[in-house]
Structure 1
Amino acid sequence: MYVERSPGSPLAERIACLWEQDSAEEGVQLVVPDACVDLIWGPDGPHVAGPDTGPMPVRLLAGDVYRGIRFRPGALGGVLGVPAEELRDSRIAFEELGLPADLTLEELTVRLRATAAPDPAAPAIARALRKGSSVRQVAWDLGLSERHLHRRAVAAFGYSPKVLQRIVRFQRALRMARSGVPLARVAVESGYTDQAHLSHDVKRLSGVPMGHLLAPVPRLTEDA
Structure 2
Amino acid sequence: MYAERPSRLAGALVWTNTPADGGAGRVLPDGCMDLLWHEGRLLVAGPDTHAHVTAGEQGAWAGVRFYPGTAPTLLGVPAHELRDRRVALAELWPASRARRLTDLVNAAADPASGLEEAALARAAGTGPPDPLLRQVVAALAAGRPVAATADELGIGARRLHRRSLAAFGYGPKTLARVLRLRRALVLARDGVPFADTAARAGYADQAHLARDVREFTGLPLGELLAGGG
TM-score after normalising by structure 2 = 0.86
Q: Following superposition, which runs of at least 4 residues in structure 1 exceed 3 angstroms of deviation?
A: none
Structure 1 residue 45 displacement after superposition: 3.0
Structure 1 residue 73 displacement after superposition: 1.1
Alignment CA distance shift 1:196-1:125 (3 Å): same
In the TM superposition, 1:1-224 aligns within 5 A as 1-8=1-8, 11=9, 13-15=10-12, 17-43=13-39, 45-60=41-56, 64-98=59-93, 99=98, 100-102=101-103, 103=105, 104=114, 105-115=116-126, 117-215=128-226
Which residue of 2 is the match for residue 222 of structure 1?
none
| Cα distance in 1 for residues equivalent to 2:194 and 2:205 | 10
CA contact (8 A) 1:23 1:65 kept: yes
Give the total of aligned pairs. Answer: 211
| Cα distance in 2 for residues equivalent to 1:154 and 1:117 | 20
Percent of counterpart pairs with the same letter?
44
| Cα distance in 1 for residues equivalent to 2:87 and 2:128 | 22
5+ residue gaps, structure 1: 217-224
Structure 1 residue 137 displacement after superposition: 0.6
| Cα distance in 1 for residues equivalent to 2:144 and 2:125 | 34
5+ residue gaps, structure 2: 106-113
| Cα distance in 1 for residues equivalent to 2:134 and 2:192 | 26
Moved more, 149-158 or 124-133: 124-133
Alignment CA distance shift 1:34-1:19 (3 Å): same
AA aligned opposite 1:41: W
| Cα distance in 2 for residues equivalent to 1:68 and 1:124 | 25
| Cα distance in 1 for residues equivalent to 2:198 and 2:56 | 32
User: Greater helix percent: which structure?
Assistant: 2
Moved more, 69-78 or 41-50: 41-50
Which residue of 1 is the match for residue 110 of structure 2?
none
Structure 1 residue 130 displacement after superposition: 2.0
User: Greater strand percent: which structure?
Assistant: 1
SS in 2 for 1:20: strand
AA aligned opposite 1:68: G
Moved more, 93-102 or 33-42: 93-102
Alignment CA distance shift 1:213-1:28 (3 Å): same
| Cα distance in 1 for residues equivalent to 2:21 and 2:72 | 36
| Cα distance in 1 for residues equivalent to 2:74 and 2:127 | 7
Moved more, 116-125 or 23-32: 116-125
CA RMSD after TM alignment? 1.8
CA contact (8 A) 1:77 1:118 kept: no
TM-score after normalising by structure 1 = 0.87
